[in-house]
Structures are given as structure tokens and as C-alpha cells.
Structure 1
Amino acid sequence: MTDRSFRILVNPLSGGGTAPEKVRQVSELLVRAGARVSVEQSRDAAHSQAVATDAVERGEVVVAAGGDGMLASIAGTVVAAGGTLGIVPSGRGNDFARMLRLEGTPEGVAHCLLEGDPTPVDVIEVADGAGATTVVLGSLYAGVDSLASEIVDRSRRMPAALQYPSAAVRALASYQPVEFHVTVDARTHVQEAFNVVVANSGYYGSGMHIAPMADVHDGVLDVVVLPAGSRLSMIRRLPKVYDGSHVELDGVTVLHGSQVRVAGEGVVGYGDGERIGPLPLTATVRPGALRLLLP
């Protein structure tokens, strides 16, 4: 038996609309174990953040049921309120859950929520030019993958497993590389590139191992700069991003630090699949800022 109380926030559209059914299965297991559970459907980010704040004030564990965007939309609120966050992976990508090696079955999810330890993990705080900040869990990225994210957002009718690979190829076919200025802990690197990724977690894009050196417990941001080149060459090299071997290719730059400023003319930055805004953007690691239920 457990004395934990959970407030589950579910994105009803996640996983092609399968998230609510997964939450129902998980909730039944939690209640059977003696937990107190309430479930609310997320209407929008503001609603989710208000619910998360209320849940923390009541001593409840906030549980995000959806994809990486749903998770990131309330993570900053949980951090600010000093609460604990749980995850029901049920989106298209689930890349942060993949990084944490979280079990995706209802039984595995329920076991983690019931028995998991509140474990500190790092987050990224992203600031725009006006000083507004956004908490990102996985990575901030800008360039061809920004365009890919926009394509994914327009590809809801395509099977989830095909959305990211298809969007990556389509984006590469049309994106024009730009000169990026990447400043890591006051040292600036300038390179014409297809993409810049500032990573806390190693995965993004539904399983791409973009930053194989990343660790959510090390207090370090890992920066991967993918160089400009022929589109055909980039498309041929795309499979290497899934196993992480792309970082060994000529021209790929890997940097490490605690604060990263990314600038590039006409480029928009995304974080965890959600649009943040035009560059320049500054990412700062916040070590151990989020308490997360982990096995």
C-alpha cells in the first residue's frame, strides 16, 4: 500500500489520442495499490500550469501524461513550486522518458510512480532577447530541425512512427544553412551549419541519439553543431544520428559548458518540440532543479 497522491494531467491528443486510455489503465493500478488519484485533461499550457501549481500546494505528485511537449509545459511550474513530477510516456517521441529508461507499459509506469524515488535531474533555462524564460528538459535546437518540427506539427495525419523521419528528410531538402555564432561559457565558435543542438538529454526527434555524451545528472550542457554540406550527404548520414555515431564525422563540432548563447540570422529556436522564438537565445543549465520519480 502507498500513501502517495497523484494529480495526472493528460493531453488527450497525445499518441494519436491513445493517452487517455493509457492513463485509465495506470490509474486503476495506482488506486488498487492504495494511492489517491485525480485525472484532468489539459486544455492548454496555462491551464496545465495552474493545475500543477495547485497540485503541488496540496502535496500531490504532478504527473504528465503525453509527449515531451506536455512534459516540458509543466516542468518549469513544478520546479518553481518545489514539487515532484512523474511521467506517463504517451506521446509521439517520448525522448526524455527514453533518456531516463522509463518503462512504457502501464504496469511499469505504475510501479515507477508508486515506488520511484524523487530524484534531482538537470533542466535547461532558455532566455530570449527580452529576458523571458522557458524551462526545457531535453534540448534547445535551431536550424534544419526547427523546420522539421514545424513540418511535424503539420503532419498529424501521418502515422506517428513516420512523422519525424519524414520531416527530417523534407526539411533537409529545403533548408539553407546559415552562419551560427555559438558562445559557450564566453568562448565563441562560428560555423556555417545545418543545425545546432544544446542538449541536456541525449535524445530528440523520436529516438535520434543526437548527444550521446549527455547526462541529465552532470550539470553540463552538451552542444552539437552539424556542419553545412550537400543535402544528399546529410540525408545519407541521417541514420548515424539514431545510433550517435554522427559525432565522429568530419566537421561535426561538440562543445560542453554551463551556459550557451546561440545566434543565427533568421533562425527560430525550438525546445522539446515546442516553438520558443527567434535567435539569439541563451540556454543555462540548472543542476538538479527538478525532482522526478525514477525507478
Structure 2
Amino acid sequence: MTGDRSFTAIVNPSAGGPGKGPSAALLRLTRLLREGGAEVDIAYSDGLRHAAELARAAAEQGRVALAVGGDGMAGAVGGALAGTSATLGIVPAGRGNDFARQLGLPTDPAELARLLLTGRPQAVDAIAANGVPVLGSVYTGVDALANHYANRSRLLGGSAPYYVGALRAVAAWRPVGYRITVDGVTHERHGFTVVAANSGYYGHGRRIAPHARVDDGLLDVVILNRSSRLLFFQVMRELPEGRHVRRPQVEVLRGRRVRIEQIAPDGRPLRYGADGELPGTLPVTAEVMPGALRVLAPPADRRREAAG
């Protein structure tokens, strides 16, 4: 299948940091794709809304829209293509790269180029968050506040911005009352965090929903109920392996439609996050979009093997 694909690489120039950002990641990959016979155009976006416009324009021309950056870029480009027959490619070149991690995308440029040139598009789920398509997860509570701090951090790369952001968020956090409705069944909880996950990863490799799959038509709803701050930090240490879900304070539900509301207002309108961005405040409804996105990724059996 080499030589018969054309790509529009949509680049966020500000992601990743000096020398590690998407432009640097794209240089070798572009050469490899062109050597494989593909046509590659590069389009620089001036923001996520512009990136979505570029993705739709690429799709209209029958090109693969290649999201080059982090989870925000992948979410913007993938969200613009969800529900269409267009194909998404992802070049993980941002801070978190968590959706790419869930898909099992190779980090080696030669392996990634081979996948983009010859791989078959895989149908994966997306999420409609208050009607807006996103890819990885929708979350609120201390996680969204930590996301806010991480996005404004001057620390470059790796997990440091997420870890420091979590420290700052937890230090001032007071548990919140939530009403969580999953497929019509309502649960009232008081705690730290609620996550509706399509992808199992967020916050730079933290496996918040270890059993989540992007092709099962379901969302994994992870709730961290009221607990001590000390326990929250213990949970943080367990997130990379997903061991936190064994704790009694952590609850996991599953469903197709999840609505999260704040029921104990105390002057703090809570924001919710999605794909590393903070698009709005509660309430939020997250509804799975089964098989809505065609993405160049390893087949499902290989993804599950890589995830263990």
C-alpha cells in the first residue's frame, strides 16, 4: 500500500518544548513517508479550532489528516473527523500522548512511518462531550484543576507538569458532591474525581481506567470517593500500573451515557476536562460514539497485547 496515500500533517508548533516539539518529530517522519512514495503537505495551526478546520479540509480532499502534537491536537483533529469516513493518523509529539499510548502507536519514526504507509484504518470509539467529539476521556474534580496547572506549567516534557499540577490541586482541594448518572441510573457521591474514560490513560501515562478499551462501545467511569489527601497521593503512585482500582475508595462503573453534575455548590463552579483541554464547566454529558473514528493504528489484538 506504499505510495498511494497522501497526508496533510497538521502541526501545533508550540507543543512539546524546544527541540522536542512536533516540528522536530515531523522532520524524519516526513522524509520516511516521502521515501515510501507518499505525498505529504504540512499545515501549521494557530489553535485547536484552526486545526479542526484543517482536518476537515484534508478529509474533503481525500487525504489522511495527520495530527502532529499532543492529546489536545489529536483530540481536535480526531474530533473533527469523528462520524465521517475520513482517516486519522497521529504523530505523538506532545507532553502526554495518552491516546497514542492507548492505541499502541510506535514511537520509533521508522515503525510509525511503516504503519502510516501500510496499516489498515481501525474503527475506534469517540466521546460526545456536551455534543462535542473528543477521544480519550472526560473528567472533573481535582483532575481538571491539576490539568489547569499542568497546562500553565513552565516545566517541559515528561510527567513533571502533571505531578506538580496534582500537588498544587490536592493541597487546596475540598471534596465535592456529584450526581453521576450512568445509562439512567443515578449515583450520588462525595469525593475528589470523576472520570468517564474511553482511553485508559491520561496525565502522561497514568492508567486511570486499566480495563478501558477504545473499541467496546462503553465508557469506564472511575470515581475517587472522599478520602484523605494522603490516600490521594498513594493513589497517584498506583496510577501508572492501574493498581488504584483495587482500593475500596475507588469505584468503577461502565455505561454508554454518563452525566456528571455538581450537587453541592459552594461558590466553585467546577470545570471539566477533555483530551488535556478544559472546554467548560459542569454539568457535562459524555456519550460514547461507537466506532466513530477511523485511525491508522495497530489492530485490536495487538493493542490488547501491548496493554497487557
**TM, length-normalised to structure 1:** 0.95
- Residues 195-234 of structure 1 aligned to structure 2 (within 5 Å): 195-234=193-232
Summarize the alignment of residues 125-164 of structure 1 with structure 2, pairs less than 5 Å apart. 125-127=128-130, 133-164=131-162
* Aligned-pair CA distance for 1:249: 0.2
Q: CA offsets per residue over residues 195-219 of structure 1, 9 Å max, x none?
A: 0000000000001100011000100
DSSP 3-state at the match of 1:98? helix
Alignment partner, residue 6 of structure 1 = 7
> Counterpart of 2:62?
59
2:124 matches 1:124? no
User: Structure 1 residue 233: deviation in Å?
Assistant: 2.1
Report SS of the residue matched to 1:14.
coil
Q: Whole-Å Cα distance in 1 between the matches of residues 24 and 113 of structure 2?
A: 14
How much does 1:159 deviate? 4.7
SS of the residue aligned with 1:8?
strand
Name the CA shift for 1:102/1:166 in 2 (closer, same or farther; >3 Å). Answer: same
Aligned to 1:40: 43
Is 2:86 the counterpart of 1:94?
A: no
The SS at the match of 1:229 is coil
User: Match of 1:243?
Assistant: 241
Aligned CA-pair RMSD? 1.2
8 Å CA contact retained: 1:226, 1:252: yes
SS at match of 2:188: strand
Deviation, structure 1 residue 81: 4.3
How many equivalent pairs are there? 290
In structure 2, what is the equivalent of residue 30 of structure 1? Answer: 33
Q: Distance in 1 between matches of 2:275 and 2:8?
A: 22
Cα distance in 2 between the residues matched to 1:243 and 1:71: 24
In structure 2, do the counterparts of structure 1 residues 172 and 241 end up closer, same or farther at CA, with 3 Å as the change threshold? same
CA deviation digits over 1:157-182, x for unaligned, max 9?
A: 45543111111122111111101110
The 5 Å alignment of 1:164-179 reads 164-179=162-177
CA contact 2:79–2:133 (8 Å) conserved in 1: yes
Contact 1:69 / 1:273 at 8 angstroms: preserved in 2?
yes
* Structure 1 residue 109 displacement after superposition: 1.5
Normalised by the size of structure 2, how large is the TM-score? 0.91
Deviates more, 1:210-219 or 1:51-60: 51-60
Aligned counterparts of 1:76 and 1:233: Cα–Cα separation in 2: 35
Aligned amino acid, residue 164 of structure 1: Y
Identity %: 44
Q: Is 1:195–1:227's contact at 8 Å kept on the other side of the alignment?
A: yes
Q: Tell me, what secondary structure is at the counterpart of 1:262?
A: strand
Letter paired with 1:102: L
Shift, 1:80, TM fit? 4.5
Q: What amino acid is the match of 1:34? A: G
* Contact persistence 1:14–1:92 (CA under 8 A): yes
Give the letter for the 2:33 counterpart.
L
Of 65-74 and 228-237, more deviation after overlay is shown by: 228-237
1:130 alignment counterpart = none
Q: 5+ residue gaps in structure 2?
A: 299-308
Which of residues 283, 287, 295 is equivalent to 1:284? 287
Q: CA deviation at 1:156?
A: 2.7
Question: Do the aligned partners of 2:141 and 2:194 also contact (CA within 8 Å) in 1?
Answer: yes
5+ unaligned residues in a row in structure 1: which ranges?
128-132
Q: Is the 8 A contact 1:78 1:84 kept in 2?
A: yes
Distance 1:233 1:294 in 2: 36
